[in-house]
Structure 1
Amino acid sequence: MTVTTDELQLMNDELQLRTIKKRISRRGLIKGASLTAVAAAGAAGVNSLSSKPVNAEVFALSQKESQEESQEEKIVKGCKEEFLFEVNAILEVPKEFRTSPKSARGLQRIVNITGGSFAGPKLKGTVLPGGNYWIFTRSDGGLEIDARTVLHTENGHLIYTSYQGIVQAPPAIMQRLRSGESKIDPSEYYYRTNLNFETGAKEYNWLNPIVAVGIGKRTPTGVTYQVYTIL
């Protein structure tokens, strides 16, 4: 069977159209709208040498997807962060235990927080003893962090802080981290957390609704986080 150049072009156009339709449908960009109507909106931009209606549809859908992607990029680029504080937590030696065979998680560690400090442009103080980390080993070798602690500001207020996070690195680096080694370049592992704050102090009420992220690294005495709020 001989296939002409025009037929090949048509099949290629139809393949592109199906692919674009699927992508746009998944992204929710077409909500009950007629594809013919969408195509008509972009028909003026189609090369006048092309007489195939499918090309107009491909063009229009491509334009629509491109516009939406550009808008998403603007939203992402519009996000800004502001340095909140650096916190240094002093940790005890981890206590290890294994979970039930039915659990999807493997080795677990509990680490008590014995103290520390934090400082930033808007607040500073100490980390109270008594908090703890729960560290879960994932099936992919990474670690999940679930922590609770209380910050005590220099002017006498308490800020309950909870955060969850992920530690991920190549197996050799993960092994060094698990062994307690602290002299590892932070660029060799991914250590990120999201923090939530709760306080009744009017002076720090602005902390309650914010979204904050922490960039962590191991230290000889525990961990340090550079904490940023997303504006």
Structure 2
Amino acid sequence: MSETSLPVRHLFRMDIDADLSNAARIRGGPAGTRMVASVDGGTVTGERINGTILGPSGDWLYRAADGTMHLDVRISIRTDDEVDILMEYQGKIYGDGSPRSAPTFQTSMEGPYNWLNKIQAIGIGSIDDGKLAYEVYELL
């Protein structure tokens, strides 16, 4: 199998403020161990989108019986020009602790960010000193 490059365009960097130490933990459920964590804020910075992460936002992640961590996240973004955007993504956390995700967006069909409603994105995350950040790319 040959390696190919994905056609992508950088959308934004997202820095997330979340305290996972305070997350609710439900152990031994049908989906494994579930954690519910509040996302308390953060920023989105890019060429076409800049804004702030608002509440309510959160992560409903779980560790499956095989040890795989699954993400289930909803983020509310308010752009610098006062437009609200819902970002939803699922994904997995790799063994090295780096998250990978598949974000989609919902916003006004009439507004300047309507193009977000029509795209699929990918997010490549990193955790450094307890800080979670993603580089988010539009698949072309």
Question: Please, what TM-score do these two structures have when normalized by structure 2?
Answer: 0.89
Which structure is higher in helix share? Answer: 1
What is the aligned partner in structure 1 of residue 7 from structure 2? 80
Which structure is higher in strand share? Answer: 2
Q: Distance in 2 between matches of 1:203 and 1:191?
A: 29
Query: Is the 2:94–2:100 contact (alpha carbons within 8 Å) kept by the matching residues of 1?
Result: no
What is the aligned partner in structure 1 of residue 136 from structure 2? 227
Query: Is the 1:146–1:165 contact (alpha carbons within 8 Å) kept by the matching residues of 2?
Result: yes
How do residues 29-178 of structure 1 correspond to structure 2 at under 5 angstroms?
Answer: 77=4, 79-92=6-19, 93-100=22-29, 103=30, 105-169=31-95
Task: Name the % identity.
Answer: 27
Question: Are positions 1:207 and 2:116 aligned together?
Answer: yes
Structure 1 stretches (4+) deviating beyond 2 angstroms?
A: 76-79, 219-222
Q: Which has the higher contact order (CA 8 A, sep 6+)?
A: 2
Q: Distance in 1 between matches of 2:53 and 2:133?
A: 12
Counterpart residue identity of residue 125, structure 2? G
What is the count of residue pairs matched by the alignment? 137
By how many angstroms is 1:129 displaced? 2.2
Q: Distance in 1 between matches of 2:128 and 2:37?
A: 14
Query: Is the 1:90–1:221 contact (alpha carbons within 8 Å) kept by the matching residues of 2?
Result: no
Q: Which runs of 5+ in 1 are unaligned?
A: 1-68, 170-187
SS at match of 1:130: strand
By how many angstroms is 1:99 displaced? 4.5
Q: Which runs of 5+ in 2 are unaligned?
A: none
Question: Please, what TM-score do these two structures have when normalized by structure 1?
Answer: 0.55
CA separation of 1:131 and 1:197: change in aligned 2, threshold 3 A: same
Larger radius of gyration: 1
Query: Is the 1:144–1:166 contact (alpha carbons within 8 Å) kept by the matching residues of 2?
Result: yes
